[in-house]
Amino acid sequence: FSETEMIPVMRGQWFIDGTWQPLEEDESNLIEQEHLNRFKDQQLQDSFDMEVLKPVDRKEAIHSLKLSRNHVDWHSVDEVYLYSDATTSKIARTVTQTLGFSKASSSGTRLHRGYVEEATLEDRPPETSHIVFVVHGIGQKMDQGRIIKNTAMMRDNARKIEEKYFSKLATHVEFLPVEWRSKLTLDGDTIELITPDKMRALRHILNSSALDIMYYTSPLYRDELVKGLQQELNRLYTLFCSRNPEFEEKGGKVSIVSHSLGCVITYDIMTGWNPVRLYEQLLQKEEEELEDSWMSYEDRCLLEGLYMTRQWLRETEERLCELTATTVSKPPVLKFKVENFFCMGSPLGMFLVLRGVRPGNSGSQDHILPRTICKRLLNIFHPADPVAYRLEPLILKHYSNILPVQIHWYSTVNPPPYEHMKPCFLNPTEEPTSFTDSESGSAVPSPTTSPVMARRHYGKSITNIGKCILGAANIGKGLGKMLFSRFGRSHTTTPQPLEAGKDGVKGDDKKAPTVGTPPLSHCSAGFLEAPVELEHRIDFELREGFVESRYWSAVTSHTAYWSSMDIALFLLTFMCKDDQEDADKSNLDTV
């Protein structure tokens, strides 16, 4: 959004009767000035309710004002009429007055000073208790101001969801767009000078979008992108607090919603990650490997001299930074604590892998983003988004075979809480358990406890289902026995699903299969019994439409997050979570 594209905000003073549209600013200012000069000490009627259709009969004008194309007559302090001075209007007035009609009732337009409804204290918007900074990704240079429109769509959807589901809560969320790209200089459009003329339009699109990724991986321009976003976040937060001084005093919270490359830049700002630090770690690793290897006396002396030189260089650089008071070596710092970090269509997982991050064994978010920096990390993606990557397998490796949590449709009635949705296997062939004759009915997940049974986009074709059935028959499981063990007991007994953790589970009847409809090949998978589980889920996946084309979705899905009502409900669910729990607790106490 460039500063040259300014949208004027005008104050309405005089309005047209009936439509209540404001007059043009120039005419309105002239009428207001004349009105104050003529009726400064006179009072309006006590009641603000105006008789809109009350004509002025035979009453002479007590004051008039000539405008460029119109003139205004005052019959009293609150009876003001606007007349057109066009020739046709004059003729019409003459004819109607000859017939006995008054001037005002024949061709005049009544004006009102002030709007039809009087402002009250209740008209003020509720105080904002949670602000959300919306950060764009690549392509902003090509379509400046797009993040403003996208944020407006997300805000409008959130307002509808807020009124429908969270109207009784004290939390009021405000979405603020963060446009950081247009203020950057970078190479000064030197890339455009070396761009060939052939296929110019396509090359311009690539230069204005995909080139941002190359800028960010460049050691020359990376810091400019990081500082640009960091400074804009801090500027907007400071500006918001100056206009809402009670926000910090009342414990206002801040979340960030980032899209595409913006997720990576935001992550690096919060964690202070710097490629120089990674380079130093690689040098240290090489030094340790050299120390463990055999070398001659002369080589070892040279190596020790190299170590001493590097140490002297580091100390010199530190002293130089202290003398010049530079902030180059300091990690970017935000002026606020991030409550929730929502990533949409994020390549962050791929960047972390390229930086050497590997799965751990703790199951904690701290493995990739410490909770002291951000309380909750949530990774949202469309299953067909080619830019998005998962994050959970970077914390625990076996979660690569666990389905991401499906985001509820906003129209779903009483959906189960996300904390109560158990993890399920993605590929049944990798499932460590199998069905046996001695298997109890409690080990079979019922349709009401398997929300992933009808997942269309992970399902196989009819041919693949047949291959799975034949494979099952080849290892001694007859088709009849498999169908009986899969469906018969799940509907004739009351199953007790395997415990996947401390959370309970509730089913999603909307996605449950029916008897006589064979499930897709992956649906025979049960719930996970892993020695280590995530403290809370991070990967959340949008549901595909029933008639959605996967190839078309691959093109459109990366920009489909902004207008999604499901996303709006998901964001508010987590941002209003504390207030919702307090409200539920108070209701229980009342009962």
Query: Domain locations in the chain?
Result: 1-40+56-124, 125-272+336-427+534-590, 275-326
Main-chain phi, psi angles of 540, to 5 degrees? -130, 130
| Mean pLDDT calculated for residue range 248-259 | 94
Alpha-carbon span 167 to 158, nearest angstrom: 12
Phi, psi of 79 (to 5 degrees): -120, 95
pLDDT value at 64 more than 50 = yes
pLDDT for the residue numbered 469: 38
Q: pLDDT value at position 536?
A: 94
Q: Give the long-range contacts of residues 97-100, CB within 8 A, separation 24 or more.
A: none
Q: What is the CA radius of gyration of the chain?
A: 34
Helix and strand totals (H; E) in the chain: 19, 12
pLDDT of residue 123: 74
Task: Please give the C-alpha separations between residue 278 and each of 155, 222, 264, in angstroms, as whole numbers.
Answer: 39, 15, 16
Residues 103-127, mean pLDDT to the nearest whole number? 76
Q: How confident is the model at residue 293 (pLDDT cuts 50, 70, 90)?
A: low
Burial tier of 377 (Cβ tally within 10 Å: 0-12, 13-18, 19+): buried
Per-position DSSP letters for 355-421, written without gaps between them: TT---BSS--GGGTS-TTTEEEEEEEE-TT-SS---SGGGTBGGGGGBPPEEPPPTT-SSPPPGGGP
Q: Mark whether 260 is an active-site residue.
A: yes
Average pLDDT over residues 117-142: 84
Helix, coil or strand: residue 1: coil
Residue 492, burial from CB neighbour count under 10 angstroms (0-12, 13-18, 19+): exposed
List the single range of 63-67, 114-118, 197-201 with lowest mean pLDDT: 114-118
Flag the least confident range among 77-91, 258-272, 274-288.
274-288
Question: Does the pLDDT of residue 75 top 80, yes or no?
Answer: yes
Helix, strand, or coil (residue 339):
strand
Least confident of 20-29, 38-47, 322-331: 322-331
Residue 112 has pLDDT above 50, yes or no: yes
What average pLDDT score do residues 431-450 get?
37
Mean pLDDT over residues 223-240, rounded? 94
- Asked if residue 54 has pLDDT above 80, the reply is no
Give Cβ neighbours of residue 173 (< 8 Å, ≥ 6 apart). Answer: 128, 129, 130, 131, 132, 158, 162, 571, 572, 575, 576
How far is residue 345's CA from residue 382's CA, in Å, rounded to a whole number? Answer: 7
The predicted model gives 542-558 an average pLDDT of: 79
Q: Out of 284-298, 336-350, 379-393, 437-451, pick the least confident.
A: 437-451
From first CA to last CA, the distance across the chain in angstroms is 52
Residue 199: which pLDDT band, with cuts at 50, 70 and 90?
Answer: confident
Which structure tokens are listed for 428?
């049944």
Give phi and psi for 189, each to the nearest 5: 65, 25
What integer is the mean pLDDT of 192-203?
85
pLDDT over 90 (residue 353) = yes
pLDDT at 176: 96
In the prediction, which pLDDT does 450 show?
32
274 vs 224: which has the higher pLDDT: 224
pLDDT at 437 over 50: no
Task: Assess whether pLDDT exceeds 60 at residue 337.
Answer: yes
pLDDT at 563 over 80: yes
So what's the pLDDT on residue 4? 57
- Reduce the secondary structure of 493-551 to three states and give it as a string: CCCCCCCCCCCCCCCCHHHCCCCCCCCCHHHHCCECCCCCCCCCCCEEECCCCCCCCHH
Q: For residue 131, is pLDDT > 60?
A: yes
Asked if 234 and 111 count as a contact pair (C-beta separation under 8 A), the reply is no
Nearest to 422 by CA among 320, 356, 496, 334: 496
Residue 493 has pLDDT above 60, yes or no: no
Residue 188, token pair as written in the block: 């000064």
> What CATH number labels 125-272+336-427+534-590?
3.40.50
According to DSSP, the residues that pair with 254 across neighbouring strands are 131, 338
Which span out of 136-140, 151-155, 191-195 was modeled with the highest average pLDDT? 151-155
The pLDDT value recorded for residue 93 is: 63
Which one is catalytic: 106, 107, 208, 260? 260
Task: Please say if the pLDDT value at position 51 is more than 70.
Answer: no
Res. 57: pLDDT tops 70: no
DSSP state of 327: -
Mean pLDDT calculated for residue range 225-230: 93
pLDDT at 573: 94
pLDDT for position 247: 93
Percent of the chain with pLDDT over 70: 66
- What's the average model confidence in pLDDT over 551-571? 90
pLDDT for the residue numbered 286: 64
| Local confidence band at 160 (pLDDT 50, 70, 90 cut-offs) | very high
- Longest CA–CA separation in the chain, Å: 121
Q: Regarding predicted confidence, which is higher, 314 or 491?
A: 314
Reduced to 3 states (helix: H, G, I; strand: E, B; else coil), residue 256 is strand
3-state secondary structure of 267: helix
Tell me the average pLDDT across 361-390. 94
What pLDDT shows up at residue 261? 95
Average pLDDT score over the chain: 75
Q: Quote the pLDDT of residue 161.
A: 93
The yes-or-no verdict on residue 46 having pLDDT over 70 is no
- Residue 258 confidence (pLDDT) above 70: yes
30-34, 298-302, 311-315, 508-512: least confidently modelled range: 508-512
Distance between CA atoms of residues 472 and 494, nearest Å: 26
Q: How far is CA 194 from CA 184, 185, 202, 360, in A?
A: 20, 17, 15, 45
Assess whether pLDDT exceeds 60 at residue 36. Answer: yes
Local confidence band at 441 (pLDDT 50, 70, 90 cut-offs): very low
What pLDDT shows up at residue 494?
A: 36
pLDDT of residue 283: 65
